[in-house]
């Protein structure tokens, strides 16, 4: 155990920031709360008055958006000097959180604050097939990046990594690799954030950039959520009190960025007793009316339950 008193001077040159990836899914649109014209995630300093990190986050997010936060989960803490834009005489520790909220808040959040998260990651939305940007831009760019490696061994390692991430060479798309894909594009110098420090690539991959690490944090949040919905019933934090099974499915698909087999999705939800009928039917957009369901909150007490794989 180091003596703390000797190090007060050094330790005091440290600050802490809380950064939030705040997600909602109003009618099947995956949106995230942003500030500064969608160039940053909402963040605020951790202050002495806060009871804990989590309550500190709750305080200012609820104050800022006017809506209560349902689910909160810590994402990652980092303090890399190279990554942060500040000078190196002091360090800021950034603690990021994933938060889910039920509705898209309107008051206290200027229009345009909530953004479809695929604006930042156009290559992540495979609900309507693989986005053209992958085969048109990303694949050739990563091929060039791989070929630019010195040794043959390194070349093939690079390409294998790219192929795993993006599902090239028959490998198939894995929606959970959102973070790995962003990091790969960053290392290959294909996103704007990387081009700021490294030499810029000839052609950047489309997708809205953000300040500092924020896009990377968003990628972390998306990846976490995409894995989490498979084994924990967290989607319901994003749903209205009553919903149809198709609405639920659309929400899951929006987050995962892939479509699922309708009948199998229903089977899964029902056999896990995640929902119960409200007894009412929906006034539908078209087609046969659907039963309305509500989340069975009791499942949260029956802990080791599964989600919506």
Query: Which residues contact DNA by CB under 7 A?
Result: 244-246, 261-264, 266-268, 281, 284-291, 309
Closest CA to 235 of 102, 98, 93: 102
Burial class (CB in 10 A: 0-12, 13-18, 19+), 169: exposed
Q: Which does 174 bind (CB under 5 to 8 A by kind): DNA, a second copy, none?
A: a second copy
77 binds a second copy (CB under 8 A): yes
Could you tell me the smallest distance in angstroms from the CB atom of residue 258 to DNA? 10
Closest CA to 185 of 219, 156, 224: 219
Cβ proximity to DNA: between 53 and 290 the closer is 290
Q: Using the rule CB under 8 A, give the single segment among 173-181, 248-256, 259-267, 276-284 that binds a second copy.
A: 173-181
272 DSSP 8-state letter: T
The pattern of x and - marking residues 131 through 170 that bind a second copy according to CB under 8 A reads --------------------------x--xx--xx-----
12 binds a second copy (CB under 8 A): yes
* CB 116 within 8 Å of CB 29: yes
Q: Which does 263 bind (CB under 5 to 8 A by kind): DNA, a second copy, none?
A: DNA
Residue of 24, 137, 177, 248 that binds a second copy (CB under 8 A): 177
Residue 280 has a CB neighbour count (10 Å cut-off) of 12
Q: Which does 2 bind (CB under 5 to 8 A by kind): a second copy, DNA, none?
A: a second copy
Cβ proximity to a second copy: between 267 and 297 the closer is 297
C-alpha 58: how far from chain center: 18
13 binds a second copy (CB under 8 A): yes
Cβ proximity to DNA: between 54 and 259 the closer is 259
Closest CA to 223 of 164, 176, 166: 176
78 binds a second copy (CB under 8 A): yes
In the numeric block, which tokens belong to residue 65? 């958006």
The pattern of x and - marking residues 79 through 118 that bind a second copy according to CB under 8 A reads xxxx-----xxxx-x-x-----------------------
**Distance of alpha carbon 240 from alpha carbon 148, whole angstroms:** 50
DSSP calls for 100-168: E-SS---TTS-TT-EEEGGGT-GGG--BTBS-HHIIIIIHHHHHHHHHTSSSHHHHHHHHHHHHHHHTT
Which residues contribute to the site for a second copy (CB under 8 A)? 1-2, 4, 7-8, 10-16, 35-36, 40, 43-48, 50-53, 74, 76-82, 88-91, 93, 95, 157, 160-161, 164-165, 174, 176-177, 180, 301-304
């Amino acid at each position: 155990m180091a003596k703390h008193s000797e190090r007060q001077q050094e330790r005091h040159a440290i600050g802490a920031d809380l950064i939030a990836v705040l997600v909602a899914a109003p009618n099947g649109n995956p949106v995230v709360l942003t500030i500064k014209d969608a160039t940053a995630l909402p963040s605020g300093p951790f202050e002495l008055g806060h009871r804990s990190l989590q309550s500190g986050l709750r305080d200012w997010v609820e104050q800022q958006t006017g809506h209560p936060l349902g689910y909160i989960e810590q994402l990652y803490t980092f303090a890399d000097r190279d990554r942060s834009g500040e000078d190196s005489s002091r360090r800021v520790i950034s603690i990021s959180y994933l938060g889910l909220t039920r509705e898209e808040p309107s008051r206290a959040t200027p229009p345009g604050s909530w953004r479809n998260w695929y604006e930042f990651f156009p290559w992540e939305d495979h609900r309507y097939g693989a986005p053209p940007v992958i085969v048109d831009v990303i694949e050739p760019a990563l091929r060039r990046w791989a070929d630019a490696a010195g040794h043959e061994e390194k070349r093939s390692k690079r390409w294998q990594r790219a192929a795993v991430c993006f599902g090239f060479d028959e490998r198939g798309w894995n929606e959970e690799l959102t973070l790995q894909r962003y990091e790969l594009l960053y290392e290959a110098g294909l996103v704007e954030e990387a081009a700021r420090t490294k030499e810029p690539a000839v052609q950047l991959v489309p997708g809205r950039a953000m300040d500092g690490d924020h896009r990377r944090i968003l990628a972390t949040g998306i990846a976490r959520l995409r894995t989490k919905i498979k084994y924990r019933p967290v989607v319901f934090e994003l749903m209205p009190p009553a919903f149809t099974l198709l609405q639920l499915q659309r929400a899951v698909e929006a987050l995962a960025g892939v479509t699922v087999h309708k009948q199998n999705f229903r089977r899964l939800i029902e056999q896990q007793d995640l929902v119960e009928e409200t007894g009412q039917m929906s006034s539908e957009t078209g087609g046969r009316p659907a039963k309305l369901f509500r989340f069975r909150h009791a499942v949260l007490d029956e802990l080791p339950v599964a989600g919506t794989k």
